[in-house]
């Protein structure tokens, strides 16, 4: 009996210790982490999480210790009762236990009340962001399996359409208007704020703000079909001036091809199925089914950030999109071997 108790004790303690350690060690320094906050909102949630963690952790330890103590003998003090035969302790024992249970229940209620207040308070504080001045509104459209971003502006010529990479200014609130073109997706950049579903026939809103520059990753968090796993977005928080410069550059139409090789690349693009789905502003390519490629070369990733944007990856993606991301909607087109190189170079030149 005693051996067993010790065995149970040590296992529990071991599991618990390893658990806490790994939790503490492994949470910092990630580009997609709920416990590495980069904004006031995720910061508050982070604080809330750790207060929950320590409080609930303490409760867990107490309950476990009590549970394990039931295996011991020394604590009882009702040794006199011949329980094995009667199965019924004295009324005194029972009423004492009932009082303890009632006390524990009241404690539970109090703790839960505190937790509710803390959690509602955090929620309320987080929603204050929408009252801040000068917000930036970005419309995020979920598609199978990529993100379309529209930087809203009262001046229609200044509406920027891009995809899969979001730049935001540090210290300025960002309103995310979420819509969906097909199925339900969920926009989630854990370092900045919690997630928000993008639901067909609904418009959802979410607010976020970065308090320091950085590069954060987000990923679709609602199962949306075959390639749900490969639907990522980069959020790049940068100082206001850098952001403005980026914005100005992105609002320009695509650069014209400067060499014959690039010229040829553009021609390949225009003569193939590419044009039916992709838009390159400043050219005749105006397809709306896939991501806008006007400044494709300036982005970090391809295929909704499945792989980094390099010439090699791009060539592989164009040649055989279905092996990198099986089931996605990009057509596998029959390209001549001489056409691929110029096309890749042209796309990469769209800075």
Q: Total residues contacting another protein (rule CB under 8 A)?
A: 111
59 lines the binding site for another protein (CB under 8 A): yes
- Subset of residues 172 to 191 that bind another protein, contact rule: CB under 8 A: 178, 182-184, 186, 188, 190
Which of helix, strand or coil describes residue 278?
coil
DSSP state of 298: G
The H-assigned helical ranges of 128-204 are none
- Cα(158)–Cα(189) distance, integer angstroms: 25
- Subset of residues 211 to 230 that bind another protein, contact rule: CB under 8 A: 217, 219-229
Which of 219, 217, 197, 193 is closest to 207 using CA atoms? Answer: 193
- Subset of residues 286 to 305 that bind another protein, contact rule: CB under 8 A: 289
Tokens of 157: 């010529």
Binding another protein (rule: CB under 8 A), the pick from 141, 148, 164, 193 is 193
Which of 178, 222, 180 is closest to 200 using CA atoms? Answer: 180
Cβ 131 to another protein shortest distance, Å: 14
Binding another protein (rule: CB under 8 A), the pick from 86, 131, 154, 258 is 86
93 lines the binding site for another protein (CB under 8 A): yes
Stretch that binds another protein, among 31-39, 131-139, 167-175, 278-286 (CB under 8 A): 31-39
316 lines the binding site for another protein (CB under 8 A): no
Contact map string, positions 235 to 274, toward another protein, x by CB under 8 A: ------------------------------------xxx-
For helices 337-348 and 311-319, angle between their N-to-C axes, nearest 10 degrees: 130
Binding another protein (rule: CB under 8 A), the pick from 6, 10, 13, 22 is 22
Cβ 70 to another protein shortest distance, Å: 4
Residue 293 phi, psi (nearest 5): -110, 15
Cβ 159 to another protein shortest distance, Å: 23
Instruction: Give the position of tokens 């690349």.
Output: 265
Q: Where are the beta strands (DSSP E) in 39-122?
A: none
197 lines the binding site for another protein (CB under 8 A): yes
What percent helix, strand, coil does the chain show, rounded to 5? 45, 15, 35
Cβ 280 to another protein shortest distance, Å: 17
């Amino acid at each position: 009996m005693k051996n067993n108790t010790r065995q149970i004790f040590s296992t529990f303690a071991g599991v618990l210790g390893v658990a806490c350690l790994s939790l503490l060690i492994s949470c910092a320094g990630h580009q997609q982490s709920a416990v590495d906050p980069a904004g006031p909102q995720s910061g508050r949630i982070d604080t809330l999480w750790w207060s929950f963690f320590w409080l609930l952790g303490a409760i867990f330890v107490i309950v476990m210790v009590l549970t394990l103590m039931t295996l011991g003998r020394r604590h009882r003090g009702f040794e006199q009762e011949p329980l094995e035969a009667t199965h019924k302790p004295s009324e005194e024992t029972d009423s004492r236990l009932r009082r303890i249970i009632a006390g524990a229940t009241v404690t539970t209620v109090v703790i839960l009340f505190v937790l509710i207040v803390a959690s509602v308070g955090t929620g309320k504080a987080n929603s204050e962001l929408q009252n801040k001045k000068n917000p930036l509104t970005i419309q995020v459209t979920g598609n199978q399996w990529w993100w379309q971003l529209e930087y809203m502006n009262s001046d229609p010529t200044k509406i920027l359409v891009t995809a899969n990479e979001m730049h935001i200014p540090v210290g300025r609130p960002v309103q995310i208007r979420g819509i969906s073109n097909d199925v339900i997706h969920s926009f989630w950049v854990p370092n900045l704020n919690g997630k928000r579903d993008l639901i067909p026939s609904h418009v959802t809103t979410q607010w976020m703000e970065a308090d320091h520059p950085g590069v954060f990753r987000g990923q679709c968090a609602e199962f949306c079909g075959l390639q749900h796993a490969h639907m990522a977005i980069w959020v790049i928080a940068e100082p206001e001036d850098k952001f403005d410069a980026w914005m100005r550059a992105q609002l320009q139409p695509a650069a014209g091809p400067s060499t014959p090789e690039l010229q040829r690349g553009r021609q390949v693009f225009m003569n193939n199925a590419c044009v039916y789905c992709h838009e390159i502003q400043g050219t005749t390519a105006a397809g709306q089914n896939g991501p806008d490629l006007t400044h494709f070369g300036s982005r970090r990733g391809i295929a909704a950030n499945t792989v980094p944007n390099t010439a090699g990856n791009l060539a592989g993606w164009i040649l055989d999109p279905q092996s990198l991301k099986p089931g996605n909607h990009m057509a596998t087109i029959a390209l001549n071997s001489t056409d691929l190189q110029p096309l890749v170079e042209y796309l990469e030149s769209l800075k």
